[in-house]
Amino acid sequence: MYIGSTGPRGLHHLVYEILDNAIDEVQAGEAANVEVSVDTGTGWVTISDDGRGIPVDTHPSTGKSSLETVLTVLHAGGKFGGEGSGYSVSGGLHGVGISVVNALSESLRVTVWRDGRAHSQSYERGKPLTPLKSTPLPPEDAKKRGTRLAFRYDPLIFTSGVVYDPDTLRSRLREVAFLNSAATIKFRAAPADVESAPWEIFAFSGGLKEYVTWLNRDKEVLHPPIYVNRTINGVVVEVGLQWCADSFSDTLVGFVNSVKTVDGGTHMDGMKAALTRVINSLARKSKALKEGDPSLPGDHVREGLGAVVSVKVPNPEFEGQTKTRLGNPEVRKLVDSVVSEELSAALELEAATFSAILSKGMQAFRAAEAAKKARELVRRKSVLVRSTLPGKLADCTSSDKAASEIFLVEGDSAGGSAKQARDRRFQAILPLRGKILNVERRDDASLYKNAEISDLIVALGLGVKGGADLSALRYGKVILLTDADVDGAHIRTLLLTFLFRYCRELFEAGRIFVGVPPLYKVDPLRGAAGTKKSAYCYDDADLSVALEGRVQGSYHIQRFKGLGEMMPEQLWSTTLDPATRTLRRLTLEDAAEASHLFTLLMGDKVGPRRELIEAYGASLSVQDLDI
């Protein structure tokens, strides 16, 4: 309940809970250095800081040390306990996170340096193995202080096969470093026996200005970053803003006490409201918008915007322990007020910047009007509101949306096999002809005129871009099923680009999946001695395992070039049958990073894409790159 899941998201949340405690020391001005080390061989994670160290004196309520109390008792380490609590703002709120991490860890070791002594204790699945040990520090280390906590997650609790993703952790540490410009954060992910593994260092003295520049690193920016920073009623409001010329979507990132609020909240609502009001007010003041002209809607004002909103709130009210959305109503008013005043003043001083932002918003408005006309034309041709579904869609018979699923299949051949193999009660098939439109390089008007895109919109029940209603979605699962080759990967990426740009909420709701068809089939030759049963292999590693123990010459390897080569019963048993298939759910951990990757892969700038391909090709030891 507290970490969200027992899969990869929950596993990484364990790290974030301990990291938040270290960052609280940074925000309190008591620490400047944080180290995070992941042993990729054993799964041990070690996080240390040079803060004051967790208290070790006897806790008045439990009679145990304060260290053991906060590690074993829920709500015992709350940081807003009134006078003397030590934190004016904090990401670790209620003393729950660290005790939950302890309970969900197979083993945990903690060391605290304070008052000239080293205090240590070990735990197993939340229970202390040893009493608190305390030893004096040598004279040269007498002033050493801080906390080091090492833990290994409990494999009995977390989903089999889950591992830490260094890129996911790296992204979080980078964010924290941007938000806390006085901190230096070091990160290393490598097997413990590789002593030469280098440390990555995240330190950004430019703070949010540098963060916004990094967000827009692959885009053509219209102006230098606009920076807002003010403390009002005890709440620190910090905002970085920068618009881009070559982007048709916004990238908005929010934080509360250095905790990322992936579901937004009142601080983001206040920022959006202020932006819309300020831009329209200045546009009318400058006569760019005349009396009677409609105001620019918020989504047009924000088109091309990269923004970071960070607030530090003494008593934040999060929705859920995972802290994904801020609920304090007063914060909306404070952020709205600060952004309105500071942005108005900045844009009145920088007329060229305001002109560029307004021009971008007006272009977005005109493009939206063109798209609206295109939609109306499409509607008149009965594409988006037609009562009939696309003719090539083989729909399912079930009316239970939650239990139904649609497969987006590459080509008529694969579509034919899938239609024969499926369970028509709950599985629908939509074959796609070739490669769909790359929406990253096209405007909305082109999108609605495209037949394949229109079929997708109608078949899925998405409605109009920007107004998609997930309750109207016709299927519980949207499954991308393409060939296991380069063309299949390209088609899958085109589909993902469309779905991400058209209706990002599908990913946030966990409705998008990728089907995993087999790449090989190993068959025993008739009459061969020492043979095993037929085996399907999904990659080269699977193939190596399947060939172990087989006599050379006693088997035949079939490589599937496409889904259309598979017999319907093969396709059912390997790819469509819920009891035996493998599906990969695509979730949205970092919208900003996902948007950046889609821009790199599908945008019109060749140079950055080439660098990405070369970098990943080198990391995968690819010998020949077709670039």
CB-based contact 328:266 (threshold 8 Å): yes
What are residue 119's DSSP bridge partners? 112, 134
d(CA 243, CA 222): 6
Q: Which residues are catalytic?
A: 410, 483, 485, 487
How far apart CA 321 and CA 314 sit, in angstroms, is: 17
Q: Is 86 exposed, middle or buried (0-12, 13-18, 19+ CB in 10 A)?
A: middle
Any idea what DSSP says for residue 56?
-
Give the 3-state secondary structure of residue 616. Answer: helix
| Amino acid at the residue 309 | V
Site of tokens 């995240």 = 202
Q: What are residue 198's phi and psi, to 5 degrees?
A: -75, 155
Q: Residue 192: what residue type?
A: A
Among 216, 210, 280, 211, CA closest to 247 = 216
Q: Take residue 514 and report the two structure tokens written for it.
A: 């990728």
**Side chain identity at 185, as an amino acid letter?**
I
242 contacts 216 by C-beta, under 8 angstroms = yes
| Rg over CA atoms, the chain | 28
- Cβ partners under 8 Å of residue 309, min gap 6: 238, 239, 252, 253, 254, 255, 267, 268, 271, 335
Q: Which of 24, 49, 590, 19 is nearest to 312 (CA)?
A: 24
Calculate the alpha carbon distances from 443 to 152, 369, 458, 498 in Å: 49, 12, 19, 12
Beta bridge partners of 428: 406
| Strand bridging mode 146-153 / 44-49 | antiparallel
Angstrom distance (rounded) from CA 367 to CA 300: 10
Q: What is the DSSP string of 463-518?
A: -STT---GGG-S-SEEEEE--SSHHHHHHHHHHHHHHHHH-THHHHTT-EEEE---
- Residue at token pair 């172990």: 548
Q: Secondary structure of 328-340 in the HEC alphabet? A: CHHHHHHHHHHHH
Any idea which residue has 């030590």 for tokens?
86
Beta bridge partners of 122: 109
- Bridge partner list, 493: none
**Which of 200, 208, 206, 146 has the alpha carbon at shortest distance from 173?**
200
CB neighbour list of residue 544: distance below 8 Å, 6 or more residues apart: none
Q: Are the C-beta atoms of 536 and 554 separated by less than 8 Å?
A: no
As a whole number of angstroms, the distance between CA 101 and CA 125 comes to: 9
Indicate the SS3 state at residue 55. coil
